[in-house]
Structure formats: structure tokens, C-alpha cells
Amino acid sequence: MLSLGILGSGSGSNMQAIVDAIEDGRLDARIALVLSDNPSAYILERASKYGIPTGIIDCSPFRMKFPEEVQEQTAMKLKEAGVDLVCLAGFMRLVKQPLLDAFPSAILNIHPSLLPAFPGLEAWKQAVDAGVSESGVTVHLVDSGMDTGPILGQEKVPVLPGDTPESLHARIQISEHQLYPQIIAEYSKRLKP
């Protein structure tokens, strides 16, 4: 059975979608550990409700940087928990070499746009501001760039007339919650014989 580690900074709605997929048999996996760089993130509370071990990634005093030594500690925690695949779920820091080296081709991210369009923060707002007719969701392998890794799956979401960033984001999240567990299940077949 695939052992997942989840890194998140926010509410954990994508972690919840993964839990739901495991519980209803769409994903043959278990979540071994949930880590957050935000001690008050709801993802930690969600995980605790399911008895999933949690921990804090302490990046202080940095607001956005993910220091190398902290990445090494994070990799060690994930390895100690027996994690096979790391899933970023609203994790707001850029993963670099120490973590990438520890989990080669085994870190996935979900991004709220049709990459390569609108990488980075608030992609749904970028899409509305740009006046495009469609956006969507991308699941990709993480490399050292900002949302630049190989794409594993995408789903289109139309940008409707009168959409606000908030209304578009809400629809994108529905697609995220369907696509991420599906791609994790598909990709896990490549990891384990």
C-alpha cells in the first residue's frame, strides 16, 4: 500500500479529498504524515480528526523561504514515517534540492491553472485579470522551478462571464478534489511494482 506524506499551508481541502478517495476505495494508500509550515493551519486539525500524525515545519523567521536545513529535517521526518510519495496540498513554499533529492520523481503538486499558464500565487485571480475564457487544474511532478515540473494531468474549468476570482476558485477546487486523488492513484502504479 502506498504511503503518502502531505505538506500543506492552509485548510487542507485537497488532503480531505485524498482521505475521501482512500475511504471509498478509489485510492489504495494511507496518509502516514501531514506537515505544515503554518502552526494554525486547519489541515493539521483535519488530519488529527482522522488520527493521522502531524508536525510543524518551522521556517521562522522566513515568511516565504524554505531554508535548506529545514528541507533536510522535513525529508528526514517523511522518511522516518515511511513515506513513498509526497503530495503538496496548498503548500506555499518552493521545494528545492534537499527535499527533491530525498524523493526523486516522488513529489506531486496540484496547481489551480492550466500550466504553463499562470504559475505562482493566486492563479485564479491571474486568470480573471487576464480575461481568459478557460482556466483549470494541473497535477505535476515537482522540480526546482515554480510550477515547472512535468505535467501528469489537467482538467479544464471555464471562466464564466461575471466570474470573480472567488467564484472561479470555488469551481477550480471542485475539479482539484476530483483530479488529485485520481492522478495520485495513476502515478502510484509507476512507483511500486
Q: Record the pTM.
A: 0.95
HEC sequence for 78-93: HHHCCCCEEEECCCCC
> Which of 186, 192, 116, 103 is CA-nearest to residue 151?
116
| Per-block mean pLDDT, blocks of 10 residues, the chain (193 long) | 96 97 96 97 97 96 92 97 96 93 96 96 95 97 94 97 96 97 94 66
Determine the distance from the C-alpha atom of residue 48 to the mean position of all C-alpha atoms in its chain, rounded to a whole number.
18
Taking residue 190's Cβ as centre, other Cβ atoms within 10 Å add up to: 10
State the Cα–Cα distance between residues 43 and 40, nearest whole angstrom: 9
Q: What's the rounded Cα separation, in Å, for the pair 7 and 45?
A: 14
Q: Specify the pLDDT at position 192.
A: 65
Specify the pLDDT at position 15. 97
**CA neighbours closer than 13 Å in the CB half-sphere of residue 10:** 9
- Per the omega criterion (within 30 degrees of 0), is the bond before 61 cis? yes
Residues 6+ apart with CB under 8 A from 176: 13, 14, 17, 110, 112, 137
Q: Which of 111, 140, 169, 177 is catalytic?
A: 111
pLDDT at 190: 86
Alpha helices in 11-54 (DSSP H): 13-23, 42-49
Please give the pLDDT value at position 193.
53
Catalytic residue status for 111: yes
Q: Which domains does the chain have, with CATH numbers?
A: 2-120+137-156+173-191 (3.40.50.170)
The Cα 58–Cα 145 span in angstroms is: 22
The set of residues, in sequence order, having a beta carbon less than 8 Å from that of 128 and lying 6+ positions away, is 159, 163, 164, 165, 168
